[in-house]
Amino acid sequence: MRQIKPVVSERLPELLRRMPKAELHMHIEGSLEPELMFALAARNGLTVPYPDVAALRRAYVFNNLQEFLDVYHAGTLVLRTEQDFYDMCWAYLVRAAADHVLHTEIFFDTQTHTSHGLSADVVINGLHRACADAQEQLGISASLILCFLRHLSEHEAFEALEQALPYRDKLVGIGLASSELGHPPEKFAKVFARARALDFRLVAHAGEEGPPAYIWSALDVLKVERIDHGVQALRDPALVTRLAFERIPLTVCPLSNLKLKVFPTLAQHNLGRMLQAGLVATVNSDDPAYFGGYINENYTQTFAALGLTAQHAYQLAHNSFAASFIDASAKQAFQDRLVEVFETFE
């Protein structure tokens, strides 16, 4: 890895904000800010069960993943039209571009919305149109990853996959999200095999709250290329050796881990130890509207809490491009821009 010249600690937040980066773990439904939620509810003749934005924000206190998922699911009820999905995705892309995100791979699911009576095309077309407009108008590159909901059955995941196939060209990959404990990756062995046969890139949430065994089976049974979260890997030295040796990226989300009480404080987060162990870790926002920050807040707060340096910043941003599903020449171009910012930063 390139040696980066030291940056004084007062200047580090500015470098973190300004450095080019990719975001690889962000659920678009988790970017729905309370203000937009109320606006969409009004547009669709619906009500939000809170008196105002401030009251809704005050409800964003969680003890674990499931408590969050229940609130997050309630928030998706305001999404009814293709334009709603467009507006939500556009708002995120404007925010990401302001944070110097050059490329983003956006998670979404269709099962939440089809269970509310929408069809998959409304979801996918709205999100895709926002991504296309953002490339043109904001210069940010964006692709879409369809996540299956693991608390539902594999049969239902197969249905979601079949419904998405007419839009195959608008999707880069398949992921696995929602309640982790009790729903191990191997529950989805067959549907991931089918997705692999269809040439989708594969990722899965594993080792957020779940044990290292779930990371092993995401790799060995689902054959995913990246692990989402993966922070529990450090409990298993043999797994750490494998992840480092095979250079399997981990999309870490520090503020999410803090809000969902995976770690009691940010100072106890293991991101620094992951890098120390040679893991290909990245920093991401997960559900920024709910967890108190977009990607730059994840970087600045975590660096302050852990005392990480400009060298770590370069490593993490470099990893984010390396771990992305863009072609080799685009990766190189983004990494060249990264080097340029580090070399010219005063």
- The 10 Å CB-count burial string (b at 16+, else e) for 267-288 is eebbbbebbebebbbbbbbbbb
- Residue where the block lists tokens 């250079």: 247
Q: Which is nearer to ligand HPA, 214 or 334 (CB)?
A: 214
Q: Does 23 bind Zn ion (CB under 5 A)?
A: no
Q: How far is CA 307 from CA 9, 12, 256, 268, 273, in A?
A: 9, 10, 19, 12, 12
Task: For residues 343 and 346, give the distance between their C-alpha atoms in angstroms, rounded to a whole number.
Answer: 9
Residue nearest to ligand HPA (CB): 177
Q: Does 27 bind ligand HPA (CB under 6 A)?
A: yes
Task: For residues 164 and 111, give the distance between their C-alpha atoms in angstroms, rounded to a whole number.
Answer: 11
Contacts with Zn ion, 291-320, as mask; x by CB under 5 A = ------------------------------
Q: Provide, rounded to whole angstroms, the least separation between the CB of residue 326 and Zn ion.
A: 20
The one catalytic residue among 82, 208, 209, 297: 208
Q: Does 256 bind ligand HPA (CB under 6 A)?
A: yes
Q: In this structure, are residues 285 and 26 in contact, taking their beta carbons and an 8 Å threshold?
A: yes
Q: Provide, rounded to whole angstroms, the least separation between the CB of residue 214 and ligand HPA.
A: 12
Q: Which is nearer to Zn ion, 105 or 286 (CB)?
A: 286
Q: Does 209 bind Zn ion (CB under 5 A)?
A: no
Task: Take residue 211 and report the two structure tokens written for it.
Answer: 């044990």
Size of the site for ligand HPA (CB under 6 A): 10
Q: Residues 6 or more apart from 102 whose CB is under 8 A from it? A: 20, 21, 22, 140, 141, 334, 337
Q: In this structure, are residues 256 and 294 in contact, taking their beta carbons and an 8 Å threshold?
A: no
- Please count the CA atoms within 13 angstroms of the CA of 154 that sit on its side-chain side: 14
Backbone angles phi, psi at 45, to 5 degrees: 70, 30
Q: Does 99 bind ligand HPA (CB under 6 A)?
A: no
User: Out of 65, 160, 161, 313, which residue is the one contacting ligand HPA (CB under 6 A)?
Assistant: 65
Helix axes 120-138, 154-164, angle to 10 degrees: 60
| Contacting ligand HPA within 268-327 (CB under 6 A) | 286-287
Q: Provide, rounded to whole angstroms, the least separation between the CB of residue 107 and ligand HPA.
A: 7
Active site residue 208: yes
- Residue 30 touches which of ligand HPA, Zn ion, none (CB < 5 to 8 A by kind)? ligand HPA
User: Out of 84, 209, 286, 297, which residue is the one contacting Zn ion (CB under 5 A)?
Assistant: 286
| Contacting ligand HPA within 30-59 (CB under 6 A) | 30
Phi/psi zone of residue 254: left (φ > 0), alpha (ψ -120 to 50 degrees), beta?
Answer: alpha
- Residue 289 touches which of Zn ion, ligand HPA, none (CB < 5 to 8 A by kind)? none
- Residue 65 touches which of Zn ion, ligand HPA, none (CB < 5 to 8 A by kind)? ligand HPA
Task: Take residue 254 and report the two structure tokens written for it.
Answer: 């520090």
- The footprint of Zn ion (CB under 5 A) covers 286
**Which positions touch ligand HPA (CB under 6 A)?**
27, 30, 65, 177-178, 205, 208, 256, 286-287
Catalytic positions, written as ranges: 208
